[in-house]
Structure 1
Amino acid sequence: MRSTRLTVGLTLVLVAAAGWPACILARPPDKETPAMALHDEIQVLNLLGSLWLTQAQLTAMLPLAQEAEQGREVLRKRMDELQTLFMGPGQVLRNALARGDRVEDHMAGSIHLLKRQQEELQTSHEEFEKGLADRMIAVLDDNQKQRLLDYKPCLVPTPDLRDPDRIGSSSPTGDDGPLKLLDRARKVPDARFEARREEMLKKLLEKVEKHYAGLDLAAFRTRVELVVTRARAMSALEYETSRENLAQELKPPEANRRHRDKETAEGRARHFLLRPCVPKLLQERLHLLTLHQPPQAQVDLGHVQAQVNCKDGKCALNR
């Protein structure tokens, strides 16, 4: 999430004093470099291009994106205020630690108060963004929501011949790992494959366990070994016609996937549609739409009379 750049950029100050826990103190947010900003714009443009937003949708989303930017500005100002407030007690704390003095209770209380205010500020801003994300999602239709979930961040979009409108850097199912695994397994000579079999399976199971929960790993390992063995035994022609189906057999059930926040609709809306660049990009797309003439009204062919005279057996329609 873009707001994370404002709050994750926090300095950890560890105070080694008896009975006094570590404190987290705010500092001004890191500035985005021009390259980072351009990278963000390209990613968001790829997503917007795949959503095929209507003029009404763009118009509804623009004020939400602008409200998100206003919220970030409020957060920046409050973070700056906390930073300024920290300077006084922070300097006293620094001097006391340098002298080896005992940290006074009132000093600890001042620092803890700032920490608590920062945490409350962060929680409040996250709730604010979640509300905006929910309103963003409400603007999208079901197909667009699915595209948002399926979007794989990329710079140069990779076309998908099965779904030309889809934009992203990997397959619509979300992971082309099984195909790559099978392709690599077929290229490895028998002796080397047998020597590295256990290492390959161990790494694969570690990755699967990280991203999927509740799987029978022993049964999954057996399935992988069987599928890979079949793939290695196939002729080139057999493999090319079967590799997609074989890859599907290697994919764990989607129901077992561990979903991170940004993989939910709300999380992805926060991550992509509330970025600082979004208001400008939405305005650009709205401007482009105004440059194009609206499509002509469709003719209801059910109410169009045919011409009395036909040419070459084909009847023309009155306009």
Structure 2
Amino acid sequence: MKVMLAPMEGVVDHLMRDMLTRVGGFDQCVTEFVRVVDQKLPKKTFYRLCPELHNGGKTPSGVPVRVQLLGQHPKWLAENAQTAVELGSPGVDLNFGCPAKTVNKSKGGAVLLKETQTLYDIVKAVRDAVPAEIPVSAKIRLGFEDKSLAVENAVAITEAGASELVVHARTKTEGYKPPAYWDWIAKIKQHTNIPLVANGEIWSAEDAQRCQEQSECTNLMVGRGALAMPNLALCIKGRQAPMPWPELAALLIQYSGYEIFGDKGRYYPNRIKQWCGYLKRQYPEAELLFNDIRRLTNSQDIVEVLARQADS
């Protein structure tokens, strides 16, 4: 079984990837998307979103990180895929799943699920542009407004030469609202011969097992679930029980050190509050923590509250 950490724009950056892969259980990560419009981007853009390129394309704990590209023009996506690989990305991922309105309005992400031929053209161009041994993966949803093209889109991506396909088992319109339609992944599997990865609404080891049964997929990708329970990947693999709160509070302090002294230190108060929003799903203590830090704007004050939580 392979458990992958999902890309989440503005949330799962290199600091969060480092933190969660140190906790363990993840076999692969994907970056936040590199937005490609109509030019070959400078190397600094790739290094900014994927600092792991300075470390052989791996997190400090050794987990491979694949650069993700988002755009609509096959030629420019192919040229930027070449750059990503030249800089050391162990693969290239293509984003056809982002539901954000601003992205979709500029014809990127999930809106491309309306255009099967464009999906094919993009994957084919990228596949032809990078060495054969470099994996080219894609992430899709089941459709934009409905699921009528789910199988057709997956087949097009397969025929274009993709190495792997992650399927978020909802349409763009369905967003992140439960349920996830895992059984649709099994339908897609009947029509494609490349490895599929199931994604969507996996919050626990029990969810993971149900997803595997209904999707007929062994490999999984988790995103929000890993933020709500940082050792979710290890729980899914049966290696650990859910992390107890004092241990998690200590992890939050460790994360605070990353954030405060990292390149985004000024955003730390908002980031830690955002993380509490996810943790509240699994830990009642996170609600209390959020209430305690909600009005705090000084990083040190927040860390002091966390320290009390870790000691309790």
TM bin (shorter chain):
under 0.3
- For normalisation by structure 2, the TM-score amounts to 0.22
Higher helix share: 1
Q: Select the structure that is richer in strand.
A: 2
